[in-house]
């Protein structure tokens, strides 16, 4: 049983964020269901669009993608919440684009990060079914960001120039100016 009352987002510098997460062996276990429930609750409270289990200090290959417009991502597309267990990237587009990213584990910072425009992913569902899905654009970006957490990386590891890193406050001003 996991104590969900003390769950907090792991911050950059905590060892769990730099470890390769372990595969989930028993997808249908009560522990897996409990982890996912805690992740969903944590994601809703945090205004994020995705969350990986290492971000709640659990080194397991579980992620949730839940894109929706909010204060942190006002232009995010609306999508159904999706739980991915033991995900793998099986194909990527040749093309990449650069766009702004932030992270619940690195609060107050945004950076421009290159990501593949389109990716094909294989994963397990809560029912232990293997599925394949194609993500494009912003949702592909979310997946790649969360996948990095599963392999011990943070989005700032992919930034090409220090000049591409700014405060979240300045980023939010830029977004408002574009409207």
| Mean pLDDT of the region 9-27 | 96
pLDDT digits (tens, 9 = 90+) for 71-130: 788 888 899 999 999 999 999 999 999 999 999 999 999 999 999 999 999 999 999 999
Looking at the predicted structure, is the pLDDT value of residue 41 above 70? yes
Architecture of domain 4-178: Alpha-Beta Complex (3.90)
- Which of helix, strand or coil describes residue 151? coil
| Residue 103 labeled ligand binder | yes
The confidence score (pLDDT) of residue 4 equals 58
What is the C-alpha to C-alpha distance for residues 99 and 137, in angstroms, rounded to an integer? 10
| Residue 145 labeled ligand binder | yes
The confidence score (pLDDT) of residue 15 equals 97
Residue pair 73/113 in contact (Cβ under 8 Å)? The answer is no
pLDDT digits (tens, 9 = 90+) for 121-164: 999 999 999 999 999 999 999 999 999 999 999 999 999 999 99
**Catalytic residue numbers, as ranges:** 146
Quote the mean pLDDT of the chain.
93
pTM, two decimal places = 0.93
Looking at the predicted structure, is the pLDDT value of residue 3 above 60? no
E strands in 33-136:
50-52, 62-65, 82-92, 96-103, 106-116, 118-124, 130-136
Q: Give the ranges where the chain is alpha helix by DSSP (H).
A: 30-46, 137-150, 168-178
Looking at the predicted structure, is the pLDDT value of residue 48 above 90? no
The confidence score (pLDDT) of residue 179 equals 62
């Amino acid at each position: 049983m996991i104590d969900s009352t003390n769950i907090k987002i792991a911050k950059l510098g905590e060892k769990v964020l730099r470890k390769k997460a372990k595969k989930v062996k028993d997808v249908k276990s009560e522990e897996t269901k409990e982890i996912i429930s805690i992740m969903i609750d944590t994601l809703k409270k945090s205004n994020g669009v995705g969350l990986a289990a290492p971000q709640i200090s659990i080194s397991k290959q579980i992620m949730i993608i839940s894109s929706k417009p909010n204060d942190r991502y006002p232009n995010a597309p609306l999508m159904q919440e999706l739980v991915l267990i033991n995900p793998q990237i099986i194909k990527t587009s040749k093309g990449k684009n650069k766009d702004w990213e932030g992270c619940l584990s690195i609060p107050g910072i945004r950076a421009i990060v290159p990501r593949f425009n389109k990716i094909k992913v294989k994963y397990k569902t809560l029912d232990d079914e293997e599925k394949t899905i194609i993500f494009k654009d912003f949702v592909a970006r979310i997946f790649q960001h969360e996948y990095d957490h599963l392999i011990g990386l943070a989005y700032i590891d992919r930034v090409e120039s220090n000049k591409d890193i700014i405060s979240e406050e300045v980023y939010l001003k830029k977004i408002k100016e574009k409207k």
